[in-house]
Amino acid sequence: MRQSSILIVEDEALIRMMLVEMIEGLGHRVVAEAGNVDQGRSLAEIEDYDCAILDINLQGDNVRPVAEIIKGRGLSFFFLSGYGPAGLPDGFQETPILTKPCTPEALKYTLDSVLPNDEA
């Protein structure tokens, strides 16, 4: 498995730290972290990453503007939510959702399902 670079957009600092630890434990690296939609948008536009993990609700704001940028760049991403599919941005119903709190196994499964397969 090749190491992938991950962008995290999550407003809860403790959850961000836990995700970073789990991602690194899976052999990947976190290249950038954002805690709100504005930070997330600018990082989504400029950073070099293979996949993004997006909390749906960022301090009361929906993460849709960030998801649109990532989708526009053709990069992989999935949503993280404590509410399941509730609040899923319009047009993103097919995007995978990982329920938080999540286990390292669930995170690995979701990452493996959205990252490009290098074995082609």
The number of folded domains in the chain is 1
Query: Which CATH number covers residue 52?
Result: 3.40.50.2300
Look at residue 82 and tell me if it is in a domain: yes
In a domain, 119, yes or no: no
Amino acid letter, 35: G
Categorize the per-residue pLDDT at 87 as very low, low, confident or very high, splitting at 50, 70 and 90.
Answer: confident
Per-residue model confidence as pLDDT tens digits over 18-66: 999 999 999 999 999 999 999 999 999 999 999 999 999 999 999 999 9
Q: Cβ distance 71 to 89 under 8 Å? A: no
Structure tokens at 35: 């805690």
Whether 120 maps to a domain, the answer reads: no
Amino acid identity of residue 86, one-letter, is: A
Name the token pair of 100.
């938080």
For residue 29, list its beta bridge partners: 5
Specify the DSSP element, H or E, that contains 46.
helix 37-46
Range of the domain at 67: 5-114
Is residue 79 in a domain? yes
